[in-house]
Amino acid sequence: MEYVNLGRSGLKISRIALGCMSFGSSKWAPWVLDEEASVPIIAKAVEHGINFFDMADMYSNGASEEVVAKVLKPLVPRHKLVLATKLYNPMSSDPNDRGLSRKHVFEAVDGSLKRLGTDYIDLYQLHRFDYGTPLEETLDALDDVVRAGKVRYLGASSMHAWQFMKAIGLQRQHGWAQFVSMQPHFNLIYREEEREMLPLCRSEGVGVIPWSPLARGLLAGRRKEDEAATLRAKTDGTANALYDRTRVQDDAVIDAVRKVAERHGRPMAQIAYAWVASRPGISAPIVGISKLHQFDDALAALDIKLTDADVAEMEAPYNAKNVAGHV
């Protein structure tokens, strides 16, 4: 496994991050793996040298953090792990148990620390932008949890580039701890972040850890009729909101990936992963693994060298989309 700095920070992360939304409790979503089924996948990630585990407090209402921490504890010393989690989404019906207020930042970080069984979080990320809380309030609170030693580094996820740059500017103005990473929605079917967010991150030295690099399996060649039969496809409202299965332009992108994959003698998933991982400024794609064999594609992709012609062929059919993934 190769390790790289997360942006300009000194934090070393594996070139693949394991997304942990699939681990936790099937009571939260029927496609989520319970603890027993999660063990072999998390253990295999460790075996492959993955040190970066991306979570969120809202995944399985906290059970994801608990399961991942419990499985990792006997496998890897804490100092060798990069544990990342997020806050923002509702954790209960309480109106203050959500968002990015000072009150919730303090309570959310303590809740995650307890579930993770650790006294610090390596990367603490804003899951979304909070339009109901002054940005200064959020950033001041985040600085406090860093100064208190509860958090080592700060990151953010899907938001508009102007919002992210405004936050960075305020952090610099006040001498607050700065964001070192951005987690955007980014793949061959959704490339809107290329307009402003990715150039901004490269300019400011912010590491990029994109989510959904396979577009919920569409770029792996999963056919519409096959997908309709899967449990996750039937119950994952987020996927249905992000991707229009009837979009002709997306089919053209998928067909281009298929042609490049055939030319390389590789599965489509490897080519799609390789494209994301090789884009300028990308630190590590976040991969979702629910079956052990899926590691093969994610790992093999790191060794694939796409030609300029390959990249041009896959990018050519793309057409602009509405923003998706910011809410």
Which positions are annotated as active-site residues?
Answer: 59
Q: Is 116 exposed, middle or buried (0-12, 13-18, 19+ CB in 10 A)?
A: buried
Whole-angstrom distance, CA of residue 176 vs CA of residue 166: 13
187 in Cβ contact with 214 (< 8 Å):
yes
Residue 80: count of CB within 10 angstroms of its CB: 10
Q: Which helix (H) or strand (E) holds 105?
A: helix 102-116
Q: Is 280 exposed, middle or buried (0-12, 13-18, 19+ CB in 10 A)?
A: exposed
CA geometry: angle 243, 57, 168, nearest 5 deg: 80
Whole-angstrom distance, CA of residue 213 vs CA of residue 125: 19
Q: Which two tokens stand for residue 306?
A: 């796409």
Q: Which two tokens stand for residue 136?
A: 């200064």
Whole-angstrom distance, CA of residue 321 vs CA of residue 22: 27
- Only one residue has tokens 């499985």, namely 71
315 Cβ contact list (under 8 Å, min separation 6): 188, 191
- What are the Cα distances from residue 216, in Å, to 166, 201, 229, 232? 31, 24, 14, 10
Q: In degrees rounded to 5, what are phi and psi of residue 261?
A: -60, -40
